[in-house]
Structure 1
């Protein structure tokens, strides 16, 4: 899990990074409120650890600003002040939990896991939806839409699209596509891949303005937003 640590005390940062690594978390750090806010809103994190007392912008304000843009990401606030007023202020700003310094890493890791479990129903409901540009593929419902308009695909076209979107921005050779979409050892001389990619391209291009499936000459095909 990717964790953003917004904390200005170097010793605390060092302990957090080392300790959380042992519990399976990957951590990035920001040492002031403004940098933390920028990282939290521009990069994908699973959870945020946010100190209250920070340079440039305090943690309360950072938390409020993050919540304006991302209402779902779990936020745990850290503080050296354990008064009820401070706890309430942190929670009212949008934090999901509050931990008072000093604390044990084991307790922090347990709190983080609890927050992530609370969010898991929401995450589970969207984890099987893949997007690129204006294309959305739901691998649970086996449906696809571009510009919110459903695409009428054959079963083979859908499997091909699902394989592409799960491997977007990767060059896929014809043999890879054959093995993963058809699951049969086709004669390598067959042009079935090219035929079905042509079918799929026409349907995708008709429904949107941006070309998504590109030919990489001599190597195969790639799904990406721009050529």
Structure 2
């Protein structure tokens, strides 16, 4: 199952370990020490699961969880912690956390929890009102979204199709779906007096 993971921790060595574990299971992992970057992933709907360190120096893990849950009801939020206090656990669950991953993180526990919560993430996505309609693959949709984020200038359908190895009609369908969902903008090119159908370019929503 394709999964898109994110991890927020102020210890880069832990992030390296988590990324290596995710890659070994065939999952994509984004890592950061910046809470605002992690929250931007949630805002842009880039993740299925976000792992958050409880002890963060600038913005607490509990506050990151609270803000992330306000942005998304479908993303699975897991807390990385060495804490075993019932009070802390209750606080985090009330702010929107789904579960905990104990430090130090071990591959077997990490992999089993991610697989379990990956099913929860998929179920929540399927229940969303804006869940991809029939004929739209979540994995391909995210590839198109990632390409639009990486491009500095708006891209036309042919450029997107070529970059991602998609058929032209397929690329067009996904781009139009993103526009319909409010996740991309369609920009009409100035025809400069030339006859024919108008040409469009697409870009991410600023």
Change (3 A) 1:19 1:121: closer
Give 1:71's aligned residue: 73
After the TM superposition, which residues 22-37 of structure 1 pair with which residues of structure 2 at under 5 Å, given as runs? 22-37=24-39
Does the CA-based 8 Å contact 1:32-1:57 persist in structure 2?
no
State the structure with bigger RCO (CA 8 A, min sep 6), 1 or 2: 2
Query: Within 2, Cα distance between the matches of 1:59 and 1:41?
Result: 17
Give 1:170's aligned residue: 157
Unaligned runs of 5+ in 1: 130-137, 141-167, 182-209
Aligned with 1:118 (options 108, 117, 120)? 120
Query: Within 2, Cα distance between the matches of 1:66 and 1:121?
Result: 18
Structure 1 residues 32-41 or 107-116, which shifts more? Answer: 32-41
Change (3 A) 1:50 1:109: same
Give 1:200's aligned residue: none
Structure 1 residues 73-82 or 96-105, which shifts more? Answer: 96-105
Query: Within 2, Cα distance between the matches of 1:51 and 1:102?
Result: 12
Q: Give 1:214 deviation, angstroms.
A: 7.4
Does the CA-based 8 Å contact 2:42-2:71 persist in structure 1?
no
Does the CA-based 8 Å contact 1:170-1:222 persist in structure 2?
no
Change (3 A) 1:106 1:221: farther
Structure 1 residues 25-34 or 44-53, which shifts more? Answer: 25-34
Does the CA-based 8 Å contact 1:20-1:27 persist in structure 2?
yes
How many residue pairs are counted as aligned between the two chains? 157
Pairing 1:52–2:39 present: no
For the aligned residues, what is the CA RMSD?
3.5
Q: Give 1:84 deviation, angstroms.
A: 1.4
Per-residue CA deviations over 1:136-187 (Å, capped at 9, x if unaligned) read xx659xxxxxxxxxxxxxxxxxxxxxxxxxxx942299xx77xx79xxxxxx
Q: What secondary structure, in the 3-state scheme, does the structure 1 residue paired with 2:29 have? A: strand
TM-score of the two chains, using structure 2 as the length reference: 0.62
Query: Within 1, Cα distance between the matches of 2:41 and 2:113?
Result: 22
Query: Within 2, Cα distance between the matches of 1:81 and 1:128?
Result: 38
TM-score of the two chains, using structure 1 as the length reference: 0.57
Unaligned runs of 5+ in 2: 137-154, 162-166, 171-184
Query: Within 2, Cα distance between the matches of 1:211 and 1:115?
Result: 35
